[in-house]
């Protein structure tokens, strides 16, 4: 075997080795990403489960806030009346 053939085989072996190292690294990081995505999906499903009753509660809260708004508007009208009386004095 000539020296050029030997150098060519060594160069090919190095290229293949480098490709193998990079591909194994990519596979490892893809596996880690998959594990993180599994945890993320589990967390999102838990959030979804906790968010299911929110529409019922939000309707109640919205109704209570509407009543509070109306009461505060009434108090504001009374304060405007007091202000007019105080300005006349």
In whole angstroms, what is the distance from residue 6 CA to residue 3 CA? 5
Q: pLDDT tens, 13-38? A: 999 999 999 999 999 999 999 999 99
Cα separations in angstroms, 81 against 63, 68, 69, 74: 28, 20, 19, 11
End-to-end CA distance of the chain: 117
In whole angstroms, what is the distance from residue 22 CA to residue 77 CA? 74
Q: Residue 89's pLDDT band (boundaries 50, 70, 90)?
A: low
User: Residue 88's pLDDT is what?
Assistant: 81
The answer to whether residue 40 scores a pLDDT higher than 80 is: yes
pTM: 0.50
């Amino acid at each position: 075997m000539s020296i050029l053939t030997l150098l060519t085989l060594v160069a090919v072996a190095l290229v293949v080795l480098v490709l193998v190292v990079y591909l194994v690294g990519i596979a490892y990081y893809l596996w880690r990403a998959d594990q993180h995505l599994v945890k993320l999906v589990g967390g999102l499903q838990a959030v979804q489960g906790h968010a299911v009753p929110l529409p019922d509660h939000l309707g109640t809260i919205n109704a209570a806030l509407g009543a509070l708004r109306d009461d505060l508007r009434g108090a504001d009208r009374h304060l405007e009346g007091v202000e007019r009386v105080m300005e006349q004095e």
